Amino acid sequence: MGAITTGLNVQAIREDFPILKTLVHNKPLVYFDNAASTQKPKIVLDTEYHYYSSQYANIHRGVHYLSQIGTELYEKTRHIVKDFIGANSEREIIFTKGTTNSINLLAYSWSSAFLKPGDEILITGMEHHSNIVPWQLACQRHGATLKVVPLQEDGSINIDEVKNMISEKTRLFSFTYVSNALGTINPVKEMTAIAHQAGAHVLIDAAQAIQHIAINVQELNCDFLAFSGHKIYGPTGTGILYGKEALLDAMPPFEGGGDMIKDVKFEQTSFNELPFKFEAGTPNIAGTIALGTAIEYVEKIGLDNIFAYEEELLKYGTEQLQQINGLTIYGNSIHKSSVLSFLLDGAHPYDVGVILDHLGIAIRTGHHCTQPIMDYFCIPGTCRASIAFYNTKEEIDLLVTGIQRASKMLL
């Protein structure tokens, strides 16, 4: 394969990310841990700095100048997110601490409103722990049952199996858009339609999709969608829960405190309107403002351009890795995004990770918070190289050389 042909100016993009100039163990950093978290462009860092250095105050509560500026900037991010995912209104955009927090909010609040004894919640065999454990806890609290659509050998799920497992008892189908451990892209629109036919609500975990795939929640018709700011080049401790307004309206508050109330009496409290009903306490103001900047940055590059470039890089990486003796790739679905999960026969993933680290190459090793996937394949974990749009073909070549070096040392 020749040079990458899609229309991104990756060298210029790399200049936007100060950390990519860092040396690790005296080698230029090759960062392939993007599924765990993405690096931040300077414009995002500058937004936080500028906010703290010249605009900072608490929001939603002050008549004074700085508080109003902060409130405007914070609410501007809500508007940016609303447009970015094609929501109907800002009332459908809840700020959270991240995907995990968004799912826990739902698992508490949605379940209180909609889950009864005997009901079922359906998930898939490729979920991150944060889309498993909150539902286990909710099922325990409400006397419901958690069901799991099984994984298949290539890392996909069988849509007929989804149809078989959904019933009139299913209240919610919660699934990931893209698997963080295998890279599988699920047919989320179809899965949503099947769930709706059975009368179930749908949550899409978009933690690994939002930074790679253009998403329109109205087109998908999902009821809820969750993602984290730090995976889309924004700050940690920021995240989004999208929900259809009528459903959010029907749900009780998650946390109580400042900002989420209308009127507090010791006898009884009434709650604020959406989205503030779900936003108790002082939030990550600077981070949320900078998340808006991150999303604008991604939109400027264009998610369709990003997807095409990353797809080419993934294809190149897959071809190169397949040529390494004794290397097995986990996750071979035809619809895949940005993740190369692999094992070298006879080598522990941790040892491969340590050798690559000494070469300046950052990958993740282990179960990637998806232990049921590892159990399915009867492996302790994998090595995972995950791609972002600032990665290059040359970096893939360095990864391949590094794996070959590890193979010689360990086997």
Catalytic positions are: 369
Would you say 91 and 248 are in contact if contact means Cβ atoms under 8 Å apart? Answer: yes
One-letter identity of residue 255: E
CB of 245 to ligand 7TS, least distance (A): 24
Closest CA to 209 of 391, 385, 35: 35
Q: From the CB of 53, what's the least distance to ligand 7TS, in Å? A: 27
* Beta carbon of residue 207, minimum distance to ligand 7TS (angstroms, whole number): 3
Encoded tokens for 16: 């936007």
Q: Going by DSSP bridges, is the β-strand pair 327-330/224-228 parallel, antiparallel, or unpaired?
A: unpaired
Counting Cβ atoms within 10 Å, is residue 263 exposed (0-12), middle (13-18) or buried (19+)? exposed
Residue closer to ligand 7TS (CB basis): 211 or 293: 211
* CB of 192 or CB of 407, closer to ligand 7TS: 192
Question: Footprint of ligand 7TS on this chain (CB under 6 A)?
Answer: 35-36, 98-100, 128, 130-131, 176, 180, 205, 207-208, 228, 364, 368-369
C-beta of 82 vs 364, nearer to ligand 7TS: 364
- What letter represents residue 86's amino acid? G
Tokens linked to 199: 């009368």
Q: Which residue number, 41 or 229, has a Cβ lying nearer to ligand 7TS?
A: 229
- For 373-384, b/e burial (b = at least 16 CB within 10 A) is bbebbeeebbbb
Q: Is 65 exposed, middle or buried (0-12, 13-18, 19+ CB in 10 A)?
A: exposed
3-class DSSP state for residue 61? Answer: coil
| Nearest C-alpha neighbor of 208 from the set 285, 310, 106 | 310
Distance of closest approach, residue 364 Cβ to ligand 7TS, in angstroms: 6
In the bound state with ligand 7TS, the residue whose beta carbon lies nearer, of 238 and 407, is 238
Q: How far is the CB of 239 from ligand 7TS (least distance, A)?
A: 7
Question: Exposure of 66 by Cβ count < 10 A (0-12 exposed, 13-18 middle, 19+ buried)?
Answer: middle
